């Protein structure tokens, strides 16, 4: 592999990793703060992609559609938390898994009923189309650079909110001792609603950003969910920092594996996960 | 099997049967039972519905040729799950005693069905699955195909590439039957003519992480790229290829499924892609125009390749019943009648090969302004070599 190609692939890997982080961050946030294992997280990614496709088809504007879809996802997150998730806080993980698996089926059926089973695509917005020359022979798509920057922006915002704001302080406190936070007069119920809704919105935003790069097809949520779990398990369940490092590792490894040993590329991330777990059974940044 | 779906399809079947029988004199014997095994849910649902709609349209249009035979449909949802195929096929065979079984879409399901139906009296008509084995090593007198073999759309593309002066080709697909068979078929004619496959990449199915491969292609600079991808993967590949700045620089060739049902989602990224297929929506022959209008009148949208293949399965049944004067009790007679048919398909007339695969034209199409425009006939009346078939 030439040095040029190596760098192109490295950038591919980082860009993919950043997107993985964005998807996985919501999953790990919800688990870390609320102890809820949301298997329907991938469905929220699918919802984001389908919503943005639908609104772009209706309005023609990507920006407006993206904002609208994110807002709907936030509302959906609040609704799901209030109606369903709230009943599960004092139950075990098995109940949560059953409920959220059920949600996967519901969302898949809704997708099929509302939008059918055709594969769809979203055009890259005009201002972000085209590519910048990269090497003599290839150029890098502007949209992918933009997507990477958005992911970095959201990662930074997430870091800022969790470590520097009052909301973040409450989130961190709630993580370690829920009863104490409640005793101090904080409304932990609404705090949880907010956190869950943000988790849902992060998944949907990932779907929105990915929509112009990927094809929008039935079942797109499940495949992403599995990769997401690999990321979160490598990083340590519940750790945002772990999700960030894990996502970059998975992104880079799977990109290079795809070129160097294509037949094994799907397996390689699981092998990597096993190796990490052998050394650190709780994941790299587990608390 | 989804119980609601069974109920709904039984209801539909009954309605249709009633509709057919009112316009035809009372049947002499038992109704003709057509078992339909297509995916009506899951990732291939759209393909299954199209095939079913085509099939029904053909039988509805040709009700006069059925000599009063009533048609009864039994529809089962395969969900494109190979594991359930033998069980469903067995129920159509033993419980429903179907005369014809139409299905499936997915090659894995086809293998499971063939296992059950090979050598039986029930006639199986495959309206999509292109697996080479179905009309190759596993061929059987009672198994017909109205679609294609994986070899057919790709083999002529090797010659197309040579004619255009491409000497070094990068080949990429998924590592599954259809993908491997398509790349091999392309290589067969391409390498025989002196072309060289500089790189052959087989990705795990259904991985769509193509970004690293299009970077690799940009680095390698072949004369052209040949590929088999379908559905969501086809959309993603065309988009990644375009975004990398390769479109217009390195020609992209493929089996026709790269641009079937995916053009709208691919948008401008598909412009210029050249593919081989046994059909094109724009095919300028009367059969195609009539079929497209009739389908649109019936269902409110225009048909695709999957609808054509289902339609031809229906035509094959109607023609056979017609030629036998409505009596299909002698299965040997049914098979030998079917073998001699010339089907007036919207893709152009075709006949069945000895292995029961269509002998058909393969068209070279190029995407222009979001349409697969027919450039030329890449191969006239192409017959699958049917390797391993002994009928």
Chain A residues in contact with B45 by the CB 8 A cut-off are: 112, 117, 218
Mean pLDDT of B151-155: 97
Chain B residues in contact with A2 by the CB 8 A cut-off are: 219
Token digits for B155? 């083999």
Tell me how many degrees the CA angle B31-B32-B37 measures, rounded to the nearest 5: 130
Helix (H, G, I), strand (E, B) or coil at B366: strand
Selecting from A117, A141, A255 the residue whose C-beta is nearest the C-beta of B45 gives A117
Between positions 136 and 175 of A, the ones with CB within 8 A of B are 137-141, 143-144
pLDDT attached to residue A257: 92
Among B297, B295, B296, B289, residue whose Cα is nearest residue B314 = B295
Gyration radius (Cα) of chain A, Å: 19
Mean pLDDT of B54-81: 93
Mean pLDDT of B323-346: 95
Q: How far is A244 from chain B (nearest CA, A)?
A: 20
Which of B11-25, B187-201, B318-332 is the least confident region? B11-25
B202/A213 CB distance under 8 A: no
Answer left, alpha or beta for residue A238, where phi above 0 means left and psi between -120 and 50 means alpha: left
Cα gap B217→B37, rounded to integer Å: 40
List, for residues A125-162, the tens digit of each pLDDT value. Answer: 989 988 888 777 778 889 999 999 999 999 999 999 98
Which among A4, A13, A136, A137 is the top mutation candidate for probing chain B, defined by the most B β-carbons within 10 Å of its own β-carbon? A137
List, for residues B209-261, the tens digit of each pLDDT value. Answer: 899 999 999 999 999 999 999 988 999 999 999 998 899 999 999 999 999 98
Q: Is residue B68 packed enough to be buried (19+ CB in 10 Å), middle (13-18) or exposed (0-12)?
A: middle
pLDDT attached to residue B4: 46
Interface predicted TM-score (ipTM) of this complex, two decimals: 0.83
**pLDDT above 90: percentage of residues in chain A:** 68
Cα gap B154→B190, rounded to integer Å: 10
A256/B212 CB distance under 8 A: yes
Which among A56, A122, A256, A258 is the top mutation candidate for probing chain B, defined by the most B β-carbons within 10 Å of its own β-carbon? A258
Cα gap A17→A245, rounded to integer Å: 9
A215/B265 CB distance under 8 A: yes
List, for residues B110-151, the tens digit of each pLDDT value. Answer: 999 999 999 999 999 999 999 999 999 999 999 999 999 999
Among B306, B359, B181, residue whose Cα is nearest residue B255 = B181
Average pLDDT, chain A: 92
Q: Are A158 and A236 in contact (CB under 8 A)?
A: no
pLDDT reading at B3 higher than 90: no
**pLDDT confidence band for B46 (50 / 70 / 90):** confident
**Is the CB of A251 inside 8 Å of chain B's CB atoms?**
no
pLDDT attached to residue B9: 52
Q: Are B305 and B279 in contact (CB under 8 A)?
A: yes
Chain A residues in contact with B201 by the CB 8 A cut-off are: 262
pLDDT attached to residue A211: 95
Average pLDDT, chain B: 91
Chain B residues in contact with A16 by the CB 8 A cut-off are: 209, 211
Q: How far is A58 from chain B (nearest CA, A)?
A: 15
Reported as type and span, the H/E element at residue B259 is none
Which among A19, A138, A139, A144 is the top mutation candidate for probing chain B, defined by the most B β-carbons within 10 Å of its own β-carbon? A138
Among A145, A155, A149, A151, residue whose Cα is nearest residue A124 = A145
B204/A265 CB distance under 8 A: yes
Mean pLDDT of B28-43: 86
**Is the CB of A8 inside 8 Å of chain B's CB atoms?**
yes
B219/A141 CB distance under 8 A: no
Q: How far is B232 from chain A (nearest CA, A)?
A: 5
Q: Is residue B112 packed enough to be buried (19+ CB in 10 Å), middle (13-18) or exposed (0-12)?
A: buried
List, for residues B202-213, the tens digit of each pLDDT value. Answer: 998 878 889 999
pLDDT reading at A214 higher than 50: yes
List, for residues A228-268, the tens digit of each pLDDT value. Answer: 999 999 999 989 999 999 999 999 999 999 889 888 888 99
**Is the CB of A86 inside 8 Å of chain B's CB atoms?**
no
Cα gap A219→B28, rounded to integer Å: 48
pLDDT attached to residue B81: 85
List, for residues A2-56, the tens digit of each pLDDT value. Answer: 888 899 899 999 999 999 999 999 999 999 888 899 999 999 999 999 999 999 9
pLDDT attached to residue A43: 97
Question: Dihedral of the CA atoms A266, A13, A49, B242 (nearest 10)?
Answer: -100
pLDDT reading at B265 higher than 70: yes
pLDDT attached to residue B27: 43
More confident residue, B365 or B177: B365
- Cβ neighbours for A127, distance < 8 A, ≥ 6 positions apart: none
B219/A137 CB distance under 8 A: yes
Which among A108, A134, A217 is the top mutation candidate for probing chain B, defined by the most B β-carbons within 10 Å of its own β-carbon? A217
């Amino acid at each position: 592999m030439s040095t040029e190609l190596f760098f192109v692939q490295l950038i591919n890997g980082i860009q993919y990793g950043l997107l993985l982080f964005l998807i996985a961050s919501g999953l790990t946030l919800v688990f870390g703060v609320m102890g809820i294992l949301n298997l329907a997280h991938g469905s929220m990614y699918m919802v984001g992609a389908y919503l943005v496709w639908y609104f772009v088809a209706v309005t023609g504007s990507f920006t407006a559609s993206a904002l609208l879809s994110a807002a709907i996802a936030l509302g959906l997150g609040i609704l799901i938390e209030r109606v369903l998730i709230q009943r599960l806080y004092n139950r075990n993980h098995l109940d949560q898994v059953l409920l959220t698996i059920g949600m996967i089926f519901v969302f898949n059926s809704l997708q099929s009923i509302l939008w059918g089973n055709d594969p769809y695509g979203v055009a890259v917005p005009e201002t972000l189309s085209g590519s910048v020359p990269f090497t003599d022979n290839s150029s890098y798509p502007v949209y992918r650079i933009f997507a990477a920057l958005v992911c970095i922006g959201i990662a930074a915002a997430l870091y800022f909110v969790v470590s520097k704001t009052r909301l973040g302080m409450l989130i961190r406190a709630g993580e370690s001792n829920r009863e104490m936070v409640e005793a101090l007069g904080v409304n932990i119920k609404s705090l949880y609603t907010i956190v869950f809704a943000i988790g849902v919105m992060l998944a949907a935003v990932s779907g929105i950003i990915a929509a112009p790069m990927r094809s929008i097809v039935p079942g797109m949520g499940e495949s992403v969910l599995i990769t997401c779990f690999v990321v979160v398990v490598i990083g340590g369940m519940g750790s945002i920092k772990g999700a960030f490092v894990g996502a970059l590792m998975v992104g880079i490894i799977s990109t290079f594996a795809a070129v160097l040993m294509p037949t094994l590329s799907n397996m390689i991330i699981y092998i990597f996960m096993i190796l990490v777990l052998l050394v650190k059974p709780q994941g790299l940044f587990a608390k | 099997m989804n119980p609601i779906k069974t109920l709904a399809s039984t209801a539909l079947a009954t309605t249709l049967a009633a509709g057919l029988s009112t316009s035809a004199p009372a049947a002499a014997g038992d109704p003709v039972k057509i078992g339909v095994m297509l995916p009506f849910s899951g990732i291939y649902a759209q393909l299954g519905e199209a095939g079913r709609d085509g099939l029904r349209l053909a039988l509805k249009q040709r009700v006069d040729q059925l000599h009063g035979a009533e048609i009864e449909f039994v529809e089962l949802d395969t969900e494109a799950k190979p594991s359930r195929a033998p069980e469903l096929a067995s129920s159509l065979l033993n419980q429903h005693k179907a005369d014809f079984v139409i299905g499936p879409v997915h090659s894995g399901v086809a293998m499971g069905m063939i296992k059950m139906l090979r050598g039986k009296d029930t006639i199986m008509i495959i309206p999509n699955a292109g697996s080479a084995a179905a009309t190759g090593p596993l061929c059987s007198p009672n198994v017909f195909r109205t679609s294609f073999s994986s070899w057919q759309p790709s083999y002529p593309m090797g010659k197309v590439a040579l004619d255009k002066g491409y000497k070094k080709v990068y080949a990429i697909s998924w590592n599954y039957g259809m993908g491997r068979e398509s790349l091999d078929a392309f290589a067969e004619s391409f390498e025989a003519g002196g072309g060289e496959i500089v790189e052959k990449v087989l990705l795990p199915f259904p991985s769509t992480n193509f970004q690293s491969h299009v970077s690799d292609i940009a680095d390698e600079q072949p004369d052209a790229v040949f590929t088999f991808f379908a559905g969501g993967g086809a959309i993603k590949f065309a988009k990644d290829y375009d975004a990398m700045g390769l479109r217009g620089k390195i020609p992209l060739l493929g089996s026709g499924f790269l641009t079937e049902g995916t053009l709208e989602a691919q948008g401008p990224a598909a412009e210029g892609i050249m593919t081989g297929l046994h059909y094109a929506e724009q095919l300028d022959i009367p059969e195609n125009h009539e079929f497209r209008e009739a389908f649109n009148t019936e269902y409110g949208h225009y048909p695709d390749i999957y609808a054509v293949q289902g339609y031809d399965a229906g035509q094959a049944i109607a023609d056979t019943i017609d030629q036998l004067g409505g009596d299909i009790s002698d299965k040997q007679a049914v098979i030998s009648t079917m073998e001699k048919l010339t089907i007036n398909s919207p893709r152009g007339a075709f006949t069945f090969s000895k292995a029961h695969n269509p002998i058909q034209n393969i068209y070279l199409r190029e995407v222009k302004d979001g349409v697969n425009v027919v450039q030329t006939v890449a191969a006239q009346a192409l017959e699958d070599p049917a390797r391993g078939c002994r009928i």
